[in-house]
Structure 1
Amino acid sequence: MRGFSQVDVFTDEFLYGNPVAVVHDADGLTDEEMAAFARWTNLAETTFLLRPTTPDADYRLRIFTISRELPFAGHPTLGSARAWLARGGVPRVPGRLVQECGAGLVTVRADGARLAFAAPPLVRSGPVTLSDLLAVASALRVRPEDIVDAQWADNGPGWVAVLLASADAVLAVEPDYANFGGFSSVGVVGPHPAGGDAAFEVRAFVDEGSRFDEDPVTGSLNAAIAQWLIPAGLAGSSYVAAQGTAIGRRGRVHLSRADGEIWVGGDTVLGVTGQLAL
């Protein structure tokens, strides 16, 4: 038997964020067993906590969707850190965890009750070509002239990010999933009017292997968007992004730049704990 947790991430109220399934003490499981269990949970991501292979890390994390393994993902990072701490994990440095994953070492810090991770470096950045811009516009069913800007913002899942003029324009998007072609992960962002609790609205459309779907709240996408918007002066040095509104969630992602790094934070709620016969 192994420990099992399910954590709701980027929310302070259970059922309104993005859940991740976490398997504790997963050393000894094969790749095939991990992949099979991830398919069985049918969640966006399932993670497996293992002993680290480097003394610089507190634990090692493997992240699976229902169809593939990811080198990094945001909400699984925060949810797994919360699960590890809740089961008695003690970081080598108080208030600071180091996660080993496919993308390398990722630092997670505690900001009060909220956890935040340091955004990993982008593996692809820069503007998209005109042909890609037209293809993304077609997939999102928006006019090319309605796209304010677009950038590759890939930190592992393959994100291309599109900036629209407003949050309302983001919420009005009705994607044509059959027309996504070679794009595996498309993010859309637009500003809210000043004065609300969130500066931007974000939506994420991802390839789940057998289908495209909308992700409730996405740490990796928000990290990549902040790595684009903040240095470009399109967002302040700290802001809150709302995500999941279009599908009945109330995700809130806290982004900030400090000491030359982008930090991605959110509340986490431990919703399910138990034992797993795996």
Structure 2
Amino acid sequence: MSQSSVRFKQVDVFTSVPFKGNPLAVVFDADALSGDEMQAIARWTNLSETSFLLAPTDERADYRVRIFTTKGELPFAGHPTLGTAHAFLESGRAPKTPRRLVQECGAGLVDLAEGDHGAWAFAAPPARMTPLAPAHHDALRAALRTDAIDFTAAPTGVDNGAPWLVARLESAQAVLALDVDYEALTTIADSVGAHGLAAYAPHDANGPATFEVRCLMTGLGNGEDPVTGSANASIAMLLAQQNRRPGTRYTARQGTVLGRDGRVHVAYDDAAGRIWVGGHSVTTIDGTCRLA
């Protein structure tokens, strides 16, 4: 490492209240770092993701980002996209176009837009969809230890750079009660190329959000992700495909069983054929990271 230190922020994403969202480590000016060095830092932060800000190689982009879990690099992920944008702007850097950003990442160029009250949203990247074979439905029921899966909305693998198996349950209470067999779930998720399960279900009319969401990871290590942009983008796309959209806007709550209170805002822009997934971010740590 030629640098002795870099600027560093830890950002809580999908919340405006510290410690209630999903934390992200952001390392600035990371151009001199190798992929192995980035991976070592990501293992050390021990967060679900760590992002590294670099100079863009595409003149259309405001910045380039590489995103690492503790185990490997991702071409795209939602909460790192929003958290990195927040850190980039908070550091005093200006977007090329007011209230718009273009992120360059492994999945290509991702557009971001500023919404109301300072919240930012990303345009959901294109996704590949692979319905779960009906022969696996009983196995999924057993792996989730529930009879509350709504199979009228076919469970489907959705890969937008971060692959999830999306399953709809009959109620928010059923989502919150899930206690899964991770070994069995891994086999089922692997069958559609997914790295975990995104379970969702509607709340009652007067509930805290439109949907309750939980994301249970398999391929990158068993455990629950607090609040997940890519999975919520996958859910939004599948809702549209299955004609189950609850209007042009809705809100998802995630992280409840982990003591978090994440809020994800989804908007369908039918004129442009885009889905926007966003939320607030707040910085909890701001300083430098010693490299050597």
TM range (shorter): over 0.9
Paired letter, 2:137: L
What is the Cα deviation at residue 257 of structure 1? 0.4
Equivalent residue number for residue 272 of structure 1: 285
* 1:190 aligned onto 2:201: yes
Q: How many residues align?
A: 276
Q: Is the 8 A contact 1:141 1:174 kept in 2?
A: yes
Among candidates 160, 165, 180, match of residue 165 of structure 2: 160
Q: Summarize the Cα distance change of 1:224–1:234 in structure 2 as closer, same or farther, 3 Å threshold.
A: same
For 1:64 and 1:108, how far apart are their aligned partners in 2? Answer: 20
Q: Is the 8 A contact 1:238 1:256 kept in 2?
A: yes
For 2:262 and 2:151, how far apart are their aligned partners in 1? Answer: 24
Task: Give me the identity figure in percent.
Answer: 50
Equivalent residue number for residue 93 of structure 1: 97
Paired letter, 1:176: D
What is the Cα deviation at residue 148 of structure 1? 4.2
For 2:142 and 2:212, how far apart are their aligned partners in 1? Answer: 21
For 2:107 and 2:140, how far apart are their aligned partners in 1? Answer: 26
Unaligned runs of 5+ in 1: none
For 2:148 and 2:137, how far apart are their aligned partners in 1? Answer: 7
Equivalent residue number for residue 131 of structure 1: 135
Q: For each residue in 1:25-66, what CA deviation from the matched residue of structure 2 results, as whole angstroms up to 9, or x when unmatched? A: 000100100001100000000000000001010000100000
Q: TM-score, normalised by structure 2?
A: 0.91
Equivalent residue number for residue 79 of structure 2: 75
Paired letter, 1:249: R
What is the Cα deviation at residue 137 of structure 1? 2.3
Q: For each residue in 1:1-44, what CA deviation from the matched residue of structure 2 results, as whole angstroms up to 9, or x when unmatched? A: 21100000001100000000000000010010000110000000
Q: How does 1:1-278 map to 2 (within 5 A)?
A: 1-112=5-116, 113-122=118-127, 124-143=128-147, 147-149=151-153, 150-182=155-187, 183=189, 184-207=195-218, 209=220, 211-235=221-245, 236-258=247-269, 259-278=272-291
CA root-mean-square deviation: 1.5
Q: Is the 8 A contact 1:5 1:83 kept in 2?
A: yes
Structure 1 residue ranges (4+ consecutive) displaced by more than 6 angstroms after TM superposition? none
Q: For each residue in 1:54-96, what CA deviation from the matched residue of structure 2 results, as whole angstroms up to 9, or x when unmatched? A: 1010000100000010010000000000000011111110100
Q: Is the 8 A contact 1:53 1:60 kept in 2?
A: yes
What is the Cα deviation at residue 128 of structure 1? 1.4
Q: TM-score, normalised by structure 1?
A: 0.95
Q: Is the 8 A contact 1:230 1:237 kept in 2?
A: no
Unaligned runs of 5+ in 2: 190-194
Q: Is the 8 A contact 2:149 2:170 kept in 1?
A: no
Paired letter, 1:233: N
Q: Is the 8 A contact 2:186 2:219 kept in 1?
A: no
Paired letter, 1:159: W
For 1:251 and 1:42, how far apart are their aligned partners in 2? Answer: 20
Paired letter, 2:28: H
Paired letter, 2:180: P
For 2:151 and 2:177, how far apart are their aligned partners in 1? Answer: 13
Local SS of the residue matching 1:40: helix
What is the Cα deviation at residue 132 of structure 1? 3.2
For 2:263 and 2:149, how far apart are their aligned partners in 1? Answer: 29
Q: Is the 8 A contact 1:166 1:191 kept in 2?
A: yes
Paired letter, 1:139: A
